[in-house]
Structure 1
Amino acid sequence: MPDEEGFFGEYGGQIIPPELKAIMDDIDRAYEEVRQTKEFKDELASLYADYVGRPSPIFHARRLSEQQGGAQIFLKREDLNHTGAHKINHCLGEALLAKFMGKTKVLAETGAGQHGVALATACSLVGIECEIHMGEIDIEKEHPNVTKMKILGCKLVPVSCGTRTLKDAVDSAFEEYLKDPQNFFYAIGSVVGPHPFPKMVRDFQSIVGKEARVQFLEKQ
């Protein structure tokens, strides 16, 4: 999965305006092309190892395991990645894809700021313009991440409409994307949105499970 229409069983697909259908299909074709190339795979693997700091370690939470009285609990320490979360995994992949497709700007929204920091970092690293939309309330609450995004050179767009939080930041970023979807790339950070984004995020984040399997086998 997914099938050719982007469905994971009964879920998925592309619930989008007709004018975006061709754009999403172009992204899918480009992704399927570039993900097979040695150059892309080697560059992403190198960035994961030498920039992100992968593989992230597996930690046996012994005291928590004892407290819960049964299951042995292990933590995959994605918080130790550069930028402090798992989000850098897909952000690097999507930034590289946008550069491969010749896009001029990568757009995204952010709530607490972790996705924004990771994407701004990835775009700065590969050399592509980045624009992050963030609600004014979130900007006030998440000053450290706001500062990091600005230092990384991204354009931070405060969103003052509606609730002034993540929901409205999504709407704002998507409105900007629709101005020029041929040249802009909307970077989605979760397994949501129209095909092929759930597939791409699934693939880029699969590094976590692949590493964990090897690490657990080594610990046996």
Structure 2
Amino acid sequence: MFRAHRNYTLAPEPETPERLLKALFKRIVTKIMRQARRMTLSKGVIARSMAMGMVVGFSPTVGLQMVICLILILIVNRLAGRYLFDIVVSVVGTLVVNPLTMVPTYTLYYVIGCRAVTCSTVVEFQSEHQVHQMLTTLGDGALAIFIGSLPFMIVGGPVGYWIGRGIERFLERRVERRQARQVQMAKRRRDARPQQTVVENG
């Protein structure tokens, strides 16, 4: 009699918030790098676009961040007459507040804002629906959220610019290394060619 073989499968690791945020950050950087290669973005575009995206992302405009970035970028690029901002990079920057961080972020906005204005009730948001409901009422709760978001919007600009410049410098170093490798390969091919000697008839 042969014993039946049992197939054991490893249980997948639980998706913790830390793992999800790490995966999100990796996707953000990858998306920006692909956009930079595809569009050949000039220096400063990624930094400016990330700064705008993070400012809009920290603003209490749930679901409207992409539209706001699109409108602002179309207007600014048109008035400037050149490509100052990139819509894809800006939208990626708005992901600083995403479905994973939205509820705790807006709760923090509300707590901070209630220190500046008088709030009728103390609320700890449990779902996105509560956040939307609070914002659509346009009462003291919505005002508290707006006031509480201002420090993050102000800080988000410089932080987004710093992150964008870091990504730009990383991409610049990659281009420099690639060009250096191409120069070395061309030199090796040139050195590997057989040398032709010219013999003069005396």
Where on the TM-score scale, by shorter chain, does this alignment land: which range? 0.3 to 0.5
- Give the alignment's TM-score, normalised by structure 2: 0.33
- Give the alignment's TM-score, normalised by structure 1: 0.31
Q: Which has the higher strand share?
A: 1
Question: Which gives a bigger RCO, structure 1 or 2 (Cα 8 Å, sep 6+)?
Answer: 2
Flag the structure with larger Rg. Answer: 2
